Amino acid sequence: MNIDEIFNGFADGLLIVTDQGTLVCANQYARLICHSLMQDTHHSPFVPKEVWQICRVVTELDHTASCPEPISVLEGEFYAGHLNSIRVRTRWVQLNEADRPSLLVILEDKAQLTRQMAIAEAQNCGLTPRETQVWLLHRAGNSRSQIAAQLYISVDTVKKHIKSTRAKREVAQWQQTDWLERSQPRKETWPNPDEQPFTASTGHSVSSLRHG
C-alpha cells in the first residue's frame, strides 16, 4: 500500500508540504479544500496561503535546526467560505526519500465533523428519519425557525422532534452507563474474621468464649 492509498483512507484532509510551502502529496479531501481556496490557481504547486500562514509559524520557530524534532504540533483555524471553519494541525515528519524534513498538515472541516457526530448520535439513539433530519440541522447550528423553513414543517413540530431526540439521547446514555457498570468485573468480598465472630458448635461465639 503506497502513501496515496493510506492518505485517501482518512476522512480528514492530509497534506505533505516542504518547508518552502511546496505541495508534495495530498489526499482527495485535502485537494478539495485547497482547490476551493485557490480557484484561480488549480495547478499551483504551492499550498493555499491560509494553510501556509499556519505552517510557516512552525518553520520560523525552528528554521535553524537541520532536523527538527517531530513532536511539536501547532494548531490553527481559518474560515473557508462554504466549508465553514477549518482546523489545521501541523507537525514535522521525516520521509525516507527526502533529504529535509517535511510538514504533515491535517485539515479538519469542523462542520463535517459535527455532521458525522450527529449521524452517529442518530444511529445510536434510534431516531426516526424525520428526527434525524431535524437533529442534523440543529447540530449544524440552525435555529428552529430555519429548520422549519428548510423541512417545510411548523416550529412546534421542530420543538417536538428536538424534545423527543433529547429524551432518546438520555435513555441511550443511561443504558450505556448501566452496561459499563455491569461489564466491570466484580471483586469477591470475604468476611473478616476479626470483625465478624464465628459461631461455635456450643452456640457461643469465639469472642464470648474468650471472656467467659
Per-residue pLDDT tens over the stretch 129-170 = 999 999 999 988 899 999 999 999 999 999 999 999 999 999
Q: In whole angstroms, give the CA distance from residue 36 to residue 11.
A: 17
Span 55-67, average pLDDT: 68
Does residue 67 register a pLDDT over 60? Answer: no
Per-residue model confidence as pLDDT tens digits over 74-130:
888 877 765 578 888 888 888 777 678 888 999 888 887 788 888 988 998 999 999
- C-alpha distances (whole Å) from 78 to each of 36, 71, 111, 152, 196 are 13, 23, 13, 33, 67
Secondary structure, 3-state, the chain: CCHHHHHCCCCCEEEEECCCCEEEEECHHHHHHHHHHCCCCCCCCECCHHHHHHHHHHHHHCCCCCCCCCCCEEEEEEECHHHCEEEEEEEEECCCCCCCCEEEEEEEEHHHHHHHHHHHHHHHHCCCHHHHHHHHHHHCCCCHHHHHHHHCCCHHHHHHHHHHHHHHHHHHHHHHHHHHHHHCCCCCCCCCCCCCCCECCCCCEHHHHHHC
Question: What homologous superfamily is domain 3-109 in, according to CATH?
Answer: PAS domain (3.30.450.20)
Q: Is the pLDDT of residue 205 over 50?
A: no
pLDDT band at residue 209, thresholds of 50, 70 and 90?
Answer: very low
Residue 196 has pLDDT above 70, yes or no: no
**3-109 matches 126-181 in fold:** no
The CATH number of domain 126-181, selected from 3.90.550.10, 1.10.10.10, 2.70.98.10, 3.30.1360.170: 1.10.10.10
Tell me the domain boundaries of the chain: 3-109, 126-181
Q: Which of 34-43, 167-176, 201-210 has the largest mean confidence?
A: 167-176
Q: Binning pLDDT at 50, 70 and 90, where does residue 69 land?
A: low
Burial (Cβ within 10 Å: 0-12, 13-18, ≥19) of residue 133:
middle
**pLDDT above 50: residue 11:** yes
Is the predicted pLDDT of residue 62 greater than 60, yes or no? yes
- If you average pLDDT over each of 110-114, 178-182, 200-204, which comes out highest? 110-114
